[in-house]
Structure 1
Amino acid sequence: MTPRLALADMAATVSSEDLSNLQLLLKAPSKDAVRDVCLQSHRAPSRRLAEATAATLGVPVSQAAELVRSLHVLSHHVLFYNLSSPEQILALFPESFHSSLKNLITKILLENSPTWRTEAVSDQISLPQLKDLDWRVDMVTGSDSVSRMSVPTCLVQLQMEDPCPTAGGESVSTVTVELSRESLDTILDGLGRIRDQLSVVAGK
């Protein structure tokens, strides 16, 4: 099963206006120019890209900006719905759309979709992952509470790896947790339930 990318703009619907905007690519001086605009517009549209596209196509910046936006929507739509065959992408275009241009756009999208999909997955926010675990049993020898004197506790050290660390932050961090026997029993019971549920799901 191919995972759908959990990015908000991936689900954008390609409108008839978007497809109409793509006709501006007929003004491109070459196929390479069309390819360049398609590739650059996949990332976030910018004023600079719109201006460069306007100069290449010889159109107003406002029209170039709409073209860039429409190409951005189209490429993300193809990724989100995992359109992986020429027929699936060609079906998005109306019959009246320029035949050679839609074939070229389709070819460009199919060639670059695998790379874009990999980039999109790697850019998604991921939860920290357990990298290593260590533990030891200690005796509490100093406390304001006399009842806690000489009570065994378990110190669990978790080494976590954050796939998306903050700027200047470390990707690996260590957390130490102190657990009483009762707390440890509760956790072990919960982990046992999780293990059983994973086994059931994996067995389906």
Structure 2
Amino acid sequence: MERSLWGHLPLLVMSNSKDSVEYILQALWRTRKTGLDAADRLVIREMLQLQHDSDLDPLLVCLRMLIRRCVYENVSKDDIQKLFPSEVLPELQRLLTLLLQKFQREWREDLLKDQVSLPRLKAMTWNMANQNTESADPMAVIDLKLQNDAQSHSGELDVKFQLAKDTLEMMLSSMYCILDQLSDLDETSNRRSSQETNMI
């Protein structure tokens, strides 16, 4: 984090309340995807007795970067205070450390909920179509059963589609490329594990 940003943290002292600082941190986390709206900005400015948004913005940038490091990076609770340089007032370090420790676990759980969970293949069946029609090109009908483990859309999903011979050949070619890459990655992983074992 740039040194110049830390100099804006003392503005939090103007709030004269731990609850106000807690509100600001919670508001920043709640709006991590959208940014603060005008109403939130006004509330925070009044808490900090600031006249203009331009006075508020550097502080918000500093706090967002601090929250990001605390939540997105692998920072333990005990190491949160080490994020602050010595130039930050000790009382501010203690207050922000306590609040970040308080919300770190909850915010990390929010991150897990935000992550997109892709469906996984559970079963696959197929049969031939147009077998009794001489004029039609033969087609294979593929039926995929997918399992969606996402909390918001959990359950099974059936996907059915048909493939002609040329399309199937193209698909198989792509699948073999994927298989080769997965095999290469697996071999690399096994080689590294073997090397690490030999070093122990």
Which amino acid letter does the alignment assign opposite residue 94 of structure 1? P
% identity of equivalent residues: 16
Query: How far apart in 2 are the matches of 1:67 and 1:196?
Result: 49
Distance 1:196 1:73, change over 3 A: closer
Query: How far apart in 2 are the matches of 1:175 and 1:29?
Result: 62
Query: How far apart in 2 are the matches of 1:177 and 1:121?
Result: 36
- Structure 2 partner of 1:156: 142
Query: How far apart in 2 are the matches of 1:197 and 1:141?
Result: 44
- Structure 1 partner of 2:71: 79
* Structure 1, gaps ≥5 residues long: 1-13, 166-170
**TM-score normalized by the length of structure 1:** 0.67
Which amino acid letter does the alignment assign opposite residue 76 of structure 2? S
8 A contact 1:86–1:107 mirrored in 2: no
Q: Runs (4+) of structure 1 moved beyond 3 Å?
A: 159-165, 177-180, 182-187, 189-204
Q: How big is the shift at 1:98? A: 1.0
Compare 111-120 and 189-198 and name the one that shifted more. 189-198
Distance 1:192 1:70, change over 3 A: closer
- Structure 1 partner of 2:163: 178
Query: How far apart in 2 are the matches of 1:179 and 1:164?
Result: 36
| Paired residues for 1:44-63 under 5 Å | 44=32, 45-46=35-36, 47-62=38-53, 63=55
Aligned residues: 179
**Are residues 1:103 and 2:94 paired?**
yes
8 A contact 1:133–1:158 mirrored in 2: yes
**Are residues 1:31 and 2:18 paired?**
yes
Q: How big is the shift at 1:194? A: 7.5
Which amino acid letter does the alignment assign opposite residue 15 of structure 1? E
Give deviations 1:132-163, integer Å, cap 9, x for gaps: 43413335222536xx5xx6x64321244495
Q: How big is the shift at 1:24? A: 0.8
Query: How far apart in 2 are the matches of 1:122 and 1:178?
Result: 36
**TM-score normalized by the length of structure 2:** 0.68
Q: How big is the shift at 1:52? A: 0.5
Q: How big is the shift at 1:73? A: 1.8
Query: How far apart in 2 are the matches of 1:36 and 1:65?
Result: 16
State the structure with bigger RCO (CA 8 A, min sep 6), 1 or 2.
1
8 A contact 2:143–2:158 mirrored in 1: no
Query: How far apart in 1 are the matches of 2:164 and 2:182?
Result: 21
Q: CA RMSD in A?
A: 3.7
Which amino acid letter does the alignment assign opposite residue 159 of structure 2? T
* Structure 2, gaps ≥5 residues long: 194-200
- Structure 1 partner of 2:126: 136
Which structure has greater helix proportion? 2
Distance 1:194 1:92, change over 3 A: closer
Query: How far apart in 2 are the matches of 1:201 and 1:184?
Result: 28
Q: How big is the shift at 1:175? A: 3.4
